Amino acid sequence: MNTLRIYPTSINDRYISEAVAELRDGNLILYPTDTLYAIGCDALNQSAIERLCQLKGINPQKNTLSIICSDISQASEYARIDNRAYAILRHNTPGPFTFILPSAPGLPKAFKGRRQVGLRIPDNAIARALAEELGHPLLTTSIPTVGLSEDEIIFPDEILLRYENGNNIALMINGGNGGSEQSTIVDLTDSSSPNILRKGAGSLEL
């Protein structure tokens, strides 16, 4: 597996382009977010989505799928964001939150028949740069944590050891040590009554 070292405070545009080329080819990548490291693919590539779901053991018909967007403007193409939801997003993104929102028609076939989408705009410049360069979202899922030590969750070299062989992941972006806490999941399908479904990192501002 190819590994690229990118510092969130000094984005290497050439490396971002290299990672996005892998996404456009339908490959999976490992990359940092503001919470856990994540596995991602091009959210508009059906075969890549299927391989990511198989790798993580996700049933796309039953589990809410989440996307990483570069900003609210990009997110608005794939999720329905009313005025109240927009205000909440503006106050809390970039940040360690997954917002469950009504889906918009721009989502790919994997979302067909699904009324909701998980939306992330992470406080990590690498993750946002990937979505910006790709021109649309990444489908994303955090690395598994059950039964693993904190070292195996946080340190990129330890994460690489788990995925470097036989997992169909083409590339890893080493963006430094990751977090050990998941994102906070907020149901915004009724934006007048936000509901925290899972408390994780961050403190939601309403």
State phi, psi for 114 to the nearest 5 degrees: -90, 135
* pTM of the predicted protein model: 0.94
Cβ neighbours around 146 below 10 Å, total: 4
* % of residues, the chain, pLDDT over 70: 97
pLDDT digits 0-9 by tens, 153-173? 999 999 999 988 767 899 999
pLDDT: is 197 or 112 the higher one? 197
The arithmetic mean of pLDDT across residues 49-64, rounded, is 84
The string of pLDDT tens digits covering residues 26-50 is 999 999 999 999 999 999 999 999 9
Average pLDDT, the chain: 93
